[in-house]
Amino acid sequence: MRILPVVCVWRQVEVVDGDGVAEHRMAMVPLARYSNLAGRQYHANEEYPLVPLEPRSRASHSQYFAALNDGFESLPEGPQLAAIAKRLNIKTIPPSGFTDSEHFRKWALCETNWCDLLEFDFDSVKDATTVAKLYRRADTYAQILVRGAHVTIKEAKSQSAAAMAKQPFEESKRAVLDLLETMIGVAKGTLNKEGGRAA
């Protein structure tokens, strides 16, 4: 299960020990709207590290998708895309190309290692193929490689505000746009500047 951020307030609470003695302590208490989520994700008396998340910029998020869409429009198709892949030694470009900028984004996240990697060994090629087909239905954009009875799956990390803090978002954003800029043959940072004007 993917752990989602739970917004808490640092406040004083009353804690009653086994002998019924009450003591006031400071504690992180989930906001009411997060209590069900916290109850599903966390277990009583277990320890969990807390890390503050720096809020992400909505402007940066909008700029990213504007830059991505602009760059994707300049990405060649067919034989030209295959030639670019060969020149850059990229072996994972889908044979039929990219359906849209979302497909490209998720592919680029996998290509730049902003992904979750799953590997499975099965008893037969048939089992491996069956699981690969089932996984494909669950995630249209995952990179799935079947070699005999071995299956490797790369699933792009979510770049949503709930799933990714500011710093990893900025790093993954830069990785995706750098790869796209390389593929369309423009200088690094071009899409960031252009997307910023479009956002």
Average pLDDT, integer, range 146-153: 96
Closest CA to 109 of 75, 145, 68: 68
Decide: 15 and 25 in contact? Cβ < 8 Å.
yes
Decide: 53 and 165 in contact? Cβ < 8 Å.
yes
* Secondary structure of 59-70 in HEC code, one letter for each residue: HHHHHHHHHHHH
Q: What b/e readout covers 141-178, taking b as 16+ CB neighbours within 10 angstroms?
A: bbbbebeeeebebbbbbebeeeebeeeebeebbebbbb
Q: How far apart are CA 105 and CA 28, in angstroms?
A: 36
Q: Which residue has the higher pLDDT, 140 or 55?
A: 140
Strands 115-121 and 143-147: unpaired
Average pLDDT, integer, range 61-67: 92
Q: Among 48-52, 80-84, 111-115, 161-165, which range has the highest average pLDDT? A: 111-115
**Residue 198 clears pLDDT 50, i.e. is over it:** no
The packing angle between helices 166-184 and 58-73, to 10°, is 20
Q: Among 9-18, 70-79, 106-115, 190-199, whose mean pLDDT is lowest?
A: 190-199
